[in-house]
Structure 1
Amino acid sequence: FEDDINELKEKAKHMNEEEIKTSLNSFIKKAETAEKGLAYKEALKECEKALYLATGFDMKPEIGRISFMILELDKKNKELELEYALKIGVKAEKKKDYI
């Protein structure tokens, strides 16, 4: 992921406003697609790329929107992890497997 951000930094140096908006929208669409496929971590990565661009070019409305998306994705990811941990715990308890 760090390589993606470094690559984005280099590209951003040579982008005009239209290219930035296009890239921003592309990252957001990829994030939304990943979210629909329940790939929350991948969606978070795409949102973080979009947030990097938005903050670098002081696009306040986009920063707010993307930040909200990141919070929601993080919440969904944590809920999914908690749900999984609870299922594993219930299965272990039924087998009387108390670690």
Structure 2
Amino acid sequence: MRLVSVRALRTKTRSLGEWLSATEDIVLTFNGKLIAILSPVTEETFEVDLMAMRQARAGRALNRLQELSHLSGRDRLSDEDINHEISVARRTPMGHKECN
């Protein structure tokens, strides 16, 4: 893995192919902060690599939702509470909250 700043990438764009062939991934930085990962792909691996990245992103999102559910206590709702929430959501127009 190689760290490359946006500035270095702009000035040495021609080196990008060499960097990617010499290392598995390049981590792009901006003002010292990590902003992206560049990974080498080929026409043969593109679809599989893209799907793997999307699955990893979805997994992170699911983990975050589970964490938020735990922190808010929603992970302890009873089946009855869940069914009530679903019922309320179905009666309420999209984008509007029910006023009680």
Give the helix-richer structure, 1 or 2.
1
TM-score by length of 1: 0.44
Q: Which has the higher contact order (CA 8 A, sep 6+)?
A: 1
TM-score by length of 2: 0.44
Which is greater in Rg?
A: 2
